[in-house]
Structure 1
């Protein structure tokens, strides 16, 4: 039957289904696809003459600073990955495969870095181990945490929650029957660990490795706060663009940063697919039995790691209430009386921009996944492919691409530059892939029988959305919205190039206060951000707990 012969209701439903797919797909192309192409285009434009060519890439031969930053990034990424995997496996194994006490505290403590901007960990290490840090003063030595070792510690703490989460999920899927068979055959605990646990978790470890490596080489917050003279690609982009106004070279460095991140994500995805193919869906969950000689060492090790994270973050909170760290330790709230950087205006701006990112992002993701579900085909495949790509794009690269795309007076979309909605869209597309994955999982869990029943009763697309998908996916929608809000509150790299004097943001203000030497006020501002994100995280926990 031709479209012109369809009943009016059926024709309207067909167009609404297409709109649900094409509207978010158009936004994905406009606010992710085109900006990514603009990075490539500007990397080929000479900064001095504007001539199209390879001059910027040829200039790399005479830019030892960029190559040094790239080598430093790779060395730091590899070192951070190795240390994080070692510590992450200890914590994950202790939580999933032992009967040690205090599991809830360890799980909570090791997830704390997610609640804070990455530079908070750098600030905490400065308060503890800096030249005027409290530990150096207690020991009577002058420590210097700036540079490679400070970045290594900060990045390990920042990436550790991600590694623990991935390895825990992998360990949770181990089959108890394999261990029961090994016990019957008389295999020792060590033999079971080597022959069953390690082979079963290898793809999870590989996935965690590439996630940690990507987080490390793309992180900007810790590098700008505690990196010192140890330059990395993230700070090199910032220097080229904001310091030297070399936008073409900034684009080239952005591509250099994009390549290892994209390669890591691709390999991680391949590892995840391989793991799913060899996994078993009928696995029986293993319940660890108490074993003192195993549980006690893991308890001590995991508690040490958890307390180290708590100490660093708690130091920032405490330092925000100390009169003069570390010389006058009497408590005061005067650092919360912030009279610089527009006071608390950046915090309120961050809150409503994060709320805007959550609302827009959740609506677009819901429409996109519904459109893919209702309209399978080439367009849906393109949308699914594009939705998987943003996770491999560093925030600095995405933010710089927005400058190239929207900072123009010749095109109508130039009116978006410097606006809150553009910053909100940048935050949303920075975390688009994670939100898309969660929303698609929720969409697949909606029973098809409900949709079929509504259609039989004469309900169209609007009725199906209102009466079937919205109620069934209520928890998923709120979870995605809270996730986008929390990540938008703490992100720094994606928005560092988009802030203006009229549009200051909280995480950027923390960086500005620290650069100006007002570290206690930076700690106070960070504490406010962490408090807001912690409240949202608690709401999310209660929500998902009720559903469970």
Structure 2
């Protein structure tokens, strides 16, 4: 048993060292850049002030509209008797499977100068600037808010409403006294999560912002265009503020997820008007989601929209001639290694923190969720500063490492919550019987959490395929992921090739999602057998 304790102490130490090298040291190195920078001068420049105001205005507008849309859709699915709820839920989350920059490009394809919708409706919609960024940000962020709110609505306890109906309390008062208090704390978490996602994204504003510059685009141009790492660090500190607020809020409100213990599922009464309105809202939203994807397909398979509408595979061939195949291979390697390494480290870390007590476990848990407070664009800059003279810089290993750290917290929390639900007496029994911890993990914990492991793999893989934030500062032609070809092709006026790359990433992620779904179904059948 002493050997077991020593080995787990060594593993904890190694994981803490991993976090130190992959998170704490890079952030510290980035902050050291401030020593040689006139921070007050940068903060007072017109460009910085305008970029900050632009970011705040677009982010606040997009966040409010995104949450309103997500709340409406979550309510329509959870509080109506519409059919095919699972299929609708999948369709509503499709935007999560393509890079944020693709949403900006999708709006250009639809509403640009020769956009599909502008030509079809004979309109001249100017999609560039403020409203273009807002609409693109809504498309990019509302699926995240929708998933969070849909879960909240699904697990609300109906017995409280039933008691209110028996007491004759009007529905308006039920909403004010029951629903709103139930939603208050989770809604704050949803707001911070959505705000941070939009505030730190540069994909949408880079593609469709035009002259309307936001902070992430400002940071992107200063670092990649002018190699001004000091100014980039100042912007990074501003970008990290919302994420830090959200992080500490969630840390101080651990009861958010346990606001209600479901004793009775929600009873849905027959209401044709409600169901008809729900169908209309859901279908209209799904069509809006599918429009950019349909436009990508149109541009990919026609000769030259709108001049020559004959079908062709030339655009696909051209994309592969311009090394799309090589970059896709890079992305697959990065995503697979990130998923494999990320799942292994996060799963072991979750076991150590969820199944043991002590200060070291608490410290490890805290540092494991710290990456939630570090936006990808900030993490990428910190890696560029810290690793620029190391042997890792410019390699695929660097991109795997940054992605593993960037997406670590959510899969870790999935595993942590799954571990916490398993019978707490297993370790005591295994100790009595002389069973080693590794065998206990292999024979007991892994079989019981197969579905969770599959979901963790999916999260790492999909996000590694679509990310453009952290990897932008660290990639070169030798290791560049395929997602970064989208702005490159668009800058060369090769919209058809750019559209094809977006479809390619979507197709890969759909295949992975289907495979993960099959794995989870098989795991469920084994557990119930």
Give the shorter-chain TM-score range: over 0.9
CA contact (8 A) 1:357 1:484 kept: yes
Q: Return the offset for 1:477.
A: 2.2
Q: Return the offset for 1:455.
A: 2.7
Secondary structure of 2:391 counterpart: helix
Pair 1:489-2:469 in alignment: no
Whole-angstrom distance in 1 between the partners of 2:405 and 2:473: 15
Unaligned ranges ≥5, structure 2: 525-529
Matched residue, 2:372:
391
Whole-angstrom distance in 2 between the partners of 1:335 and 1:70: 39
Which 10-residue stretch deviates more, 130-139 or 67-76?
130-139
Return closer, same or farther for 1:13/1:380 CA change in 2, 3 Å cut-off: same
Residue 16 of structure 2: which of 15, 25, 38 is its match? 25
Matched residue, 1:304:
284
Deviations 1:413-458 (A, max 9, x none): x111111111101001111110110111222233344443333222
Matched residue, 1:536:
512
Matched residue, 1:40:
31
Q: Return the offset for 1:124.
A: 1.3
Pair 1:330-2:321 in alignment: no
Return closer, same or farther for 1:366/1:275 CA change in 2, 3 Å cut-off: closer
Matched residue, 1:380:
361
Matched residue, 1:50:
none
Deviations 1:300-324 (A, max 9, x none): 1222112111212232233221221
CA contact (8 A) 1:120 1:313 kept: no
Whole-angstrom distance in 1 between the partners of 2:433 and 2:243: 49
CA contact (8 A) 2:353 2:416 kept: no
Whole-angstrom distance in 2 between the partners of 1:187 and 1:327: 63
Which 10-residue stretch deviates more, 397-406 or 131-140?
131-140
CA contact (8 A) 2:303 2:309 kept: yes
Matched residue, 1:288:
268
Matched residue, 1:402:
383
Residue 75 of structure 2: which of 85, 93, 97 is its match? 93
CA contact (8 A) 1:174 1:283 kept: no
Return closer, same or farther for 1:499/1:333 CA change in 2, 3 Å cut-off: same
Pair 1:263-2:263 in alignment: no
TM-score (ref. length: structure 2): 0.94
Counterparts of 1:480-519 in structure 2, within 5 Å, are: 480-519=456-495
Whole-angstrom distance in 1 between the partners of 2:91 and 2:262: 32
Counterparts of 1:170-181 in structure 2, within 5 Å, are: 170-181=152-163
Pair 1:16-2:22 in alignment: no
Deviations 1:146-195 (A, max 9, x none): 11111111110111111111111221232211221222233444443333
Secondary structure of 1:329 counterpart: strand
Matched residue, 1:521:
497
TM-align CA RMSD? 1.9
TM-score (ref. length: structure 1): 0.91
CA contact (8 A) 1:353 1:420 kept: yes
Whole-angstrom distance in 1 between the partners of 2:103 and 2:280: 23
Matched residue, 1:427:
403
Pair 1:444-2:420 in alignment: yes
Counterparts of 1:311-326 in structure 2, within 5 Å, are: 311-326=291-306
Secondary structure of 1:496 counterpart: helix
Return closer, same or farther for 1:336/1:242 CA change in 2, 3 Å cut-off: same
Whole-angstrom distance in 1 between the partners of 2:43 and 2:442: 59
Return closer, same or farther for 1:280/1:34 CA change in 2, 3 Å cut-off: same
Counterparts of 1:33-432 in structure 2, within 5 Å, are: 33-46=24-37, 55=38, 57-270=39-252, 272-276=253-257, 279-337=259-317, 338-339=319-320, 341-373=322-354, 375-408=356-389, 414-432=390-408
CA contact (8 A) 1:21 1:375 kept: no
Whole-angstrom distance in 2 between the partners of 1:267 and 1:373: 21
Matched residue, 1:456:
432
Secondary structure of 1:396 counterpart: helix
Q: Return the offset for 1:198.
A: 2.5
Residue 451 of structure 2: which of 475, 494, 497 is its match? 475
Q: How many residues align?
A: 523
Unaligned ranges ≥5, structure 1: 1-9, 47-54, 409-413
Q: Return the offset for 1:519.
A: 0.9
Whole-angstrom distance in 2 between the partners of 1:99 and 1:192: 21
Return closer, same or farther for 1:23/1:260 CA change in 2, 3 Å cut-off: same
Secondary structure of 2:334 counterpart: helix
Which 10-residue stretch deviates more, 347-356 or 366-375?
366-375
